Amino acid sequence: MTLRTSAGFFITGTDTEVGKTLVSGALILKLREDGIRTIGFKPVVAGTYVDASGQKLNEDLETLRIASGLNTREQSLCPFVLDVAAAPHIVAQQNKVHLDATRILDEFNTLTSVFDSVVVEGVGGFLVPLNEQEDLGDVAQAMDLPVILVVGMRLGCINHALLTCEAMVSRQLTIAGWVANTLSEEMPSLAENIQTLKDRIFAPFLGIIPNLPPHLQKSENAPYSIEALRFAAGHIKLPE
């Protein structure tokens, strides 16, 4: 893998299911509103569904498409689409697919040559494996993008956030900022948890996304609506 520098962000999270897709979509909208030609990208997705027209889709990729202003068939946003929603390296092994970082970087580089900015949604948490030798941290490092950490606000997130920051620093990545995503309205001491993170994460705080109002919540096997992405975008700022 070769190192390269380009505009955009790598969005990682404290875990899987913490709101990386919501934040990625919101940031793409914000960049596009600023006139920056931006597209979403995901190194690998695990989990597909079949829509009403019989097309096999992945909900993260469909959200990134909506945010990027692309139709379903326009432009590949992901080199590896696996059907089963589980740890990608295991699903890949079971399907005799090699998740190759070089292929991921080639597709990413193709997008960076066409767009001003590429927002890369990571897979699960920061160090999810790709294969026996490589993990998503290696991919983030090779892309050389500033990283944004999405903290899914739930019990345990303080430790997960601080561990993730240590891992990013040990890989010489720039932490461009972090977002607190309110996964549940009922988290006890939400404000105190956020303050604890503000005191310990030495990177800009980009905002708190509230729990989505009921009409904006995502349905299973469907992307986020543009309204949900706009709502999230209204609560976070782009790193300076």
Q: State yes or no: 181 annotated in a binding site.
A: yes
AA identity, residue 83: D
Nearer Cβ to ligand ATP (15/134): 15
Single residue of 8, 22, 60, 206 touching Mg ion by CB under 5 A: 60
* Number of Cβ atoms within 10 Å of the Cβ of 138: 18
Q: Which residue has the tokens 């931006």?
A: 38
Site string for ligand DNN, 68-87 (x = CB under 6 A): -----------------xxx
Residue 156 annotated as part of some ligand binding site: no
Eight-class DSSP state of 224: P
Of the candidate residues 13, 124, 207, 223, the single one contacting ligand DNN (CB under 6 A): 124
Q: In this chain, which of 31, 123, 149, 206 binds ligand DNN, going by CB under 6 A?
A: 123
Under the binding rule (CB under 6 A), the answer on residue 46 touching ligand DNN is yes
Binding of ligand ATP by 183 (CB under 6 A):
yes
Cα–Cα distances (Å) from 200 to 9, 12, 149, 224, 234, in that order, read 22, 18, 13, 31, 25
First to last CA, the chain: 29
Residue 95 assigned as binding residue: no
Name the one range near Mg ion by CB under 5 A: 5-13, 19-27, 169-177, 202-210. Answer: 19-27
- For ligand ATP, the closer CB: 175 or 209: 209
Long-range CB pairs of 95-102 (<8 Å, 24+ gap) are 98/131, 99/44, 99/130, 99/131, 99/134, 100/130, 100/131, 101/1, 101/130, 101/134, 101/138, 101/139, 101/142, 102/1
Select 39 or 45, whichever has its Cβ closest to ligand DNN: 45
Of 34 and 51, which CB lies nearer to Mg ion in the complex structure? Answer: 51
Question: Is 42 part of the annotated catalytic residue set?
Answer: yes
Q: Which residue has the tokens 């993170």?
A: 197
Q: Are strands 49-50 and 56-57 parallel, antiparallel or unpaired?
A: antiparallel
Residues 100, 105: Cα–Cα separation, whole Å: 9
Q: Which is nearer to ligand DNN, 168 or 194 (CB)?
A: 168
Pick from 106, 16, 99, 25: which is nearest to 61 by CA? Answer: 25
Total binding residues for ligand ATP by CB under 6 A?
Answer: 18
Q: How far apart are CA 174 and CA 90, in angstroms?
A: 29
Binding region for ligand DNN (CB under 6 A): 16, 46-47, 85-87, 123-125, 128
Can you give the binding site for Mg ion, defined by CB under 5 A? Answer: 20-21, 60
Q: Enumerate the known binding-site residues for Mg(2+).
A: 21, 60, 121
Positions in the binding site for ligand ATP (CB under 6 A): 13, 16-22, 60, 124, 181-183, 209, 211-212, 217-218
Which residues have a catalytic role annotated? 42
